[in-house]
């Protein structure tokens, strides 16, 4: 006869013990998440305006001072992107929660350290195009506004693309400031600038093909570059 196994399956008591352990872990995780959110909210209210219930431009300046960055630093724009902020110069509580939970930052010290990782996150090709488009939308401060004036576009180009495409951005800004055909730039033109920097050899622009659905302003820019070289 085959020998009967003396090994026993898990008892109800051990299964019950495992279940209790899982429940305790979940409870502890829930308490930790609740405490983190509480600290994130407290941080929000330390910068928010009593009148608006949002962090307004004055509050953002105070935040920047505590983070030891200038309010024009590109990382503040990246922070707005992480929050998916809708109105320039203002952060709502929901936006603040979204951004700081995503960064796992519930104190100023943690947020300060998180800005380093945030910059790396934004610089990834998969994220940067989205951030670049966000930067334009974030600067549309009026209802139904669809374009941005040349002066502001030059500042934004320098802020967002300057560190990656210095030569292209300098030339593009120079052209935008001397040309007289365009007073404002729309989203298609803005995205075209990014595509140009990524795809066109610079400064000889030898692979630029005007038949490849470039915006007219870039056709004019390339003609200007070529005329400068004689």
Ramachandran region, residue 184 (left: φ > 0; alpha: ψ -120 to 50; beta: rest): beta
| 56 close to 87: Cβ distance less than 8 angstroms | no
pLDDT tens for each residue of 58-114 = 999 999 999 999 999 999 999 999 999 999 999 999 999 999 999 999 999 999 999
pLDDT tens for each residue of 157-194 = 999 999 999 999 999 999 999 999 999 999 999 999 99
127-229 matches 23-123 in CATH topology? yes
Pick the CATH number of 23-123 from 1.10.238.10, 3.30.590.10, 2.40.30.170, 3.30.43.10: 1.10.238.10
Q: What is the pTM of this model?
A: 0.85
* Residue extents of the structural domains in the chain: 23-123, 127-229
DSSP conformation letters of 136-204: HHHT--STT--EEEHHHHHHHHHHHHTTT-HHHHHHHHHHHHH--S-SEEEHHHHHHHHHHHHHS-TTT
Cα 188 from Cα 169, distance rounded (Å): 17
CATH superfamily of 127-229: Cullin, PONY binding domain (1.10.238.200)
């Amino acid at each position: 006869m085959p020998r009967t196994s003396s090994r026993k399956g898990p008892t109800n008591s051990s299964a019950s013990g495992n279940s209790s352990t899982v429940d305790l872990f979940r409870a502890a995780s829930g308490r930790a998440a609740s405490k983190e959110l509480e600290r994130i909210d407290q941080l929000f209210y330390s910068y928010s305006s009593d009148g608006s219930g949002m962090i307004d431009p004055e509050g953002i300046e105070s935040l920047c001072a505590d983070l030891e960055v200038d309010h024009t630093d590109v990382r503040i724009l990246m922070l707005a992107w992480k929050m998916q902020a809708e109105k320039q110069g203002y952060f709502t509580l929901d936006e603040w929660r979204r951004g700081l939970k995503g960064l796992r930052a519930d104190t100023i010290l943690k947020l300060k350290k998180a800005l380093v990782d945030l910059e790396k996150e934004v610089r990834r090709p998969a994220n940067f195009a989205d951030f670049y488009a966000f930067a334009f939308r974030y600067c549309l401060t009026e209802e139904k506004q669809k374009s941005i004036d040349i002066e502001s576009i030059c500042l934004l180009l320098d802020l967002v693309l300057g560190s990656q495409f210095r030569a292209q951005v300098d030339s593009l800004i120079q052209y935008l400031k001397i040309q007289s055909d365009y007073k404002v730039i729309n989203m298609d033109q803005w995205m075209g600038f990014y595509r140009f920097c990524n795809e066109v050899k610079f400064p000889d622009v030898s692979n630029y093909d005007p038949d490849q659905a470039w915006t007219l302003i870039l056709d004019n820019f390339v003609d200007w570059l070529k005329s400068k070289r004689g």
